[in-house]
Amino acid sequence: MGSPAPPRHLFVVFGATGDLFQRKLLPTMFRLSAQGKFPPGCLLLGVARHPLDDAGFRALALASLRAAKAGTDEELQRFCDSTLLYHRLSEESAAGYGVLRSHIEQIEASHLLDGNRLFYLALPLDAFTPTLTGIGQAGLNKAPGWTRVVIEKPFGRDLASAQALNRLLRGMFEESQIYRIDHYLGKETVQNLLVFRFANMFVESMWTRDRIEHVEITVAEKLGLEGRAQYYDDSGALRDMVQNHVTQLLTLVGMEPPATKDEDAIRNEKVKVLRSIVRIDPSDVVRGQYTAGTVDGAAVLGYRQEPGIPPTSTTETFVALRLKIANWRWQNVPFFVRTGKRLPAKASRVVLTLRAPPVSFFQAEGEYEASPDRITILVQPDEGFEIAFEVKVPGREIRVQTQRMKFHYADVFGELPDGYETLLIDVMLGDPTLFVRADEVEESWRLYAPLLENPPPVVFYAANTWGPEEAQTLVEQWGHRWNPP
């Protein structure tokens, strides 16, 4: 039995001429439509300041879809003509949003829609407040049917701004109507982590301090700034990656089994993990910044030489952390976290290293160097799971070798859906399980607030290396080394 079809609605996108919508969301909406998952009769209304009409917006969208190689020209043109409409927001004032409301009501009446509205803010952080204020002043949050609002990360840039944003949202929407989207949570491996843990007794029985010696979370990026200099220098790796993507992985790995698969039961357990993390000591933090190097045989600039970056910038492009979760399951199990730009590979993974046997007669005889068993969760690329364990090499002598038992999604299920596909369907169905709740946002910012207020000094690493030496020292102090992706 398939999933239920979302009800007909008007999908309103603010920032519809911007990069996020044109490059990411629009191809995703086309794929959903092609798969029959975007209900027939639903319309997408793009809202932006550019002086376009419906035809001009459709031409812009068609060019973006062609660039994404989303489908044939005939398929793309049919989608644009049947689905896309445009509204120019000529002024960001009560009057301007009043005109938008009239346009929306006219569309709903002429296309016999039921008054269900989904507002997607594909906007930079500083545009959230005026847009949400305009929506509220025009009464757009009170529709004849249901109303939902989607906002992209970052959800604030510190604790105070996150709290202010949450107050603004709650002033016009119920929490059940608010969808804070982090595309990482739409990835199949991230979702299947709950099944892997809680549907497999042999896995969950190992998921404790008695069996696991330490946990590593790596989110590595090979690219540099890619034209985002102004945004990135104002945020840095801690705000851009650790507070959201990395922390989401951390909570899913660290959470207790929820009583049910109800969305609040799962999100409650994630919040408990954040509240259990011990205040981060500055000695457990490494902030790095890349210098010039060579990537794929080509010379690349250092961060301070990138166009648009001040030559004395202290913004971090790399962060490594040692975290401690003070609860029954994880007491004395260190969590090592790292993320950075200009690293040797693009990779996101979680590695749980199991404790060594308390007694090993192989080690006692000096026949081999112990290699601990490991469970690896591959988030990207090659999504899946691996379990590393020791086996005997055939022959008379006892020689031991590490082997891996692997499961990769692509080998079994073929190409996986994009994270946005999963999450957009969930929004349309009204399922908030994979979205971030207000208290989770605030607890995450509260955890990292001391590091933002008094950041440790930046140290340097060459592009195309795995970060500064200090990051290696951070784990070596506990007798470990980072597992190579």
Query: Using alpha carbons only, how large is the chain's radius of gyration in Å?
Result: 24
Task: Specify the pLDDT at position 110.
Answer: 94
Query: To 10 degrees, what angle do helices 263-276 and 438-453 make?
Result: 20
Task: Specify the pLDDT at position 159.
Answer: 94
What DSSP character marks residue 465? S
Q: Cβ neighbours of residue 343 under 8 Å, at least 6 residues apart?
A: 220, 221, 222, 318, 464, 465, 466, 467
Coil/strand/helix, residue 6: coil
Q: Cβ neighbours of residue 129 under 8 Å, at least 6 residues apart?
A: 165, 168
Give me the helices (H) in 68-187, please: 73-83, 94-110, 128-137, 159-170
Q: Which two tokens stand for residue 150?
A: 């989607």
Q: For residue 190, give the amino acid letter.
A: V
pLDDT in tens, 324-370: 999 999 999 999 999 999 999 999 999 999 887 766 665 555 555 55
Residue numbers in the chain where pLDDT is lower than 50: 1
Pairing relationship of beta strands 384-393 and 347-354 according to DSSP bridges: unpaired
What DSSP character marks residue 372? -
How far, CA to CA in Å, does 34 sit from each of 27, 28, 60, 431? Answer: 10, 10, 19, 22
Catalytic site residue from 111, 183, 245, 408: 245
Task: Specify the pLDDT at position 140.
Answer: 93
Task: Specify the pLDDT at position 315.
Answer: 96
Is 245 labeled as catalytic in the residue annotation?
yes
Coil/strand/helix, residue 158: coil
Task: Specify the pLDDT at position 200.
Answer: 84
Residue with tokens 């000695």: 283
The rounded distance, in Å, linking the Cα atoms of 291 and 317 is 10
Task: Specify the pLDDT at position 63.
Answer: 94
* Furthest CA-CA distance within the chain: 86
Structural domains present in the chain: 10-152 (3.40.50.720), 187-414+450-476 (3.30.360.10)
Element containing residue 148 per DSSP (H, E)? strand 147-152
